[in-house]
Amino acid sequence: MTAPRYTPLVESLPSTVPFVGPETQERARGRPFRARLGANESLFGPSPRAVAAMTLAASEVWMYGDPEMHELRGAIAAHHGVAPDQVMVGEGIDGLLGLLVRLIVAPGDAVVTSDGAYPTFAFHVTGFGGRLHKVPYRGDHEDPEALVARAREVGAKILYLANPDNPMGSHHPAAAIRAMIDNLPEGTLLALDEAYVELAPDGTAPDIDPEDPRVIRFRTFSKGYGLAGLRVGYAIGARSLIAAFDKVRNHFGVGRIAQAGALAAITDQDWLVQVRTQVALSRDEIGRIARSCGLAPLPSATNFVTIDCGRDGAHARAILRALADRDIFVRMPFVAPHDRCIRVSCGQPEDLAALAEALPEALSAAG
């Protein structure tokens, strides 16, 4: 009797995950968190229309979802002023990034990202055998010029940039992204992750021709639309690239309930407007709480606020642990010097009241 014969690549990889979920932590702790402020979910919830649509679709869940996702792709296309065959829907941006890497990156191919940027992209690249080249942030922002220069230096097949950025919450204006695209080296594809762009200031998202072969952009229903549990995201790109996803995607990966919820959500832009208002108020309150404790909140274009704790990673991790001891779930950046910070998701008033109570005690406990 033999064990499974893993590939040499898989044999060489550590057993790891990009994030440890709050549920995992709760099981280890033996009790729930009272404020779930670490996963950048929308604590303001989804559109009631989306909830109603999912409830109705539940009675039809004996059927597979439409593998072409015809209605949803059409609604997304209409919202963005593009054609349905320039849109691909998948299992969140994470799933789509995995498919993109599978399409583009062969073992040994160069890929460029920022050191400390969203780790799931790097997880996919490593899993398919690509060679990651990481560029430091410039201050608390990703560095478009340095990313492009490194892509040119190593002949990168993909350059990944999130705008707005996770984990720092910073952003670049549309003109900076436009300049980055115009300077891309021949043969490099920009994977532009815009997961948080609905919550960013006006003028953050550039106007990009979807047929521009140099760019594929990604959006999600997990953040502003409040549907993280559905795992629905989408990509907008050139028809030839979008069609290539059909070669490798799970054609039944987005179920019937998920398609119904996302379709109702994108057609209820009034809900997104009021979520943006609540997020802005919550960011202000998190900033107030941080400043009242002598900490420095960083400017945010997302549904979270990154807080500079003023010292180093060891100190920030001690604060994180002390907050968890007080049943407050938050996260922090992984890489120095940004690991001097903690990152707090926007939440309801009662969540932020719990944070305001716990943070001074956590700072004291952390020394």
Find all residues with CB under 8 Å of 162, minimum gap 6, and list them: 117, 118, 142, 193, 194, 195, 196
Q: What is the pLDDT of residue 236?
A: 98
Beta pairing partners, 215:
190
Q: What is the pLDDT of residue 158?
A: 98
CA distances from 245 to 236, 242, 270 (A): 12, 6, 32
Reading the chain (367 residues) residue by residue, the pLDDT tens digits are 788 988 988 888 888 777 889 999 999 999 999 999 999 999 999 999 999 999 999 999 999 999 999 999 999 999 999 999 999 999 999 999 999 999 999 999 999 999 999 999 999 999 999 999 999 999 999 999 999 999 999 999 999 999 999 999 999 999 999 999 999 999 999 999 999 999 999 999 999 999 999 999 999 999 999 999 999 999 999 999 999 999 999 999 999 999 999 999 999 999 999 999 999 999 999 999 999 999 999 999 999 999 999 999 999 999 999 999 999 999 999 999 999 999 999 999 999 999 999 999 999 999 8
Query: What CATH fold (topology level) applies to the domain 48-267?
Result: Aspartate Aminotransferase; domain 2 (3.40.640)
Per domain, the residue ranges of the chain are 15-45+270-366, 48-267
Same fold, 15-45+270-366 and 48-267: no
Query: CA 224 from chain center: how many Å?
Result: 11
Q: For 220-239, b where at least 16 C-beta lie within 10 A, e where not — what string?
A: bbbbbbbbbebbbbbbbbbe
CA distance 90 to 254: 6
Q: What is the pLDDT of residue 3?
A: 84
Work out the burial of residue 24: count CB atoms within 10 Å of its CB; fewer than 13 is exposed, 13-18 middle, 19 or more buried.
exposed
Query: What CATH fold (topology level) applies to the domain 15-45+270-366?
Result: Aspartate Aminotransferase, domain 1 (3.90.1150)
Q: If DSSP codes are grouped into helix, strand and coil, which group holds residue 65?
A: coil
- Phi and psi at 34, nearest 5°, equal -95, -20
Give the position of tokens 């997880």. 123
CA distance 280 to 311: 27
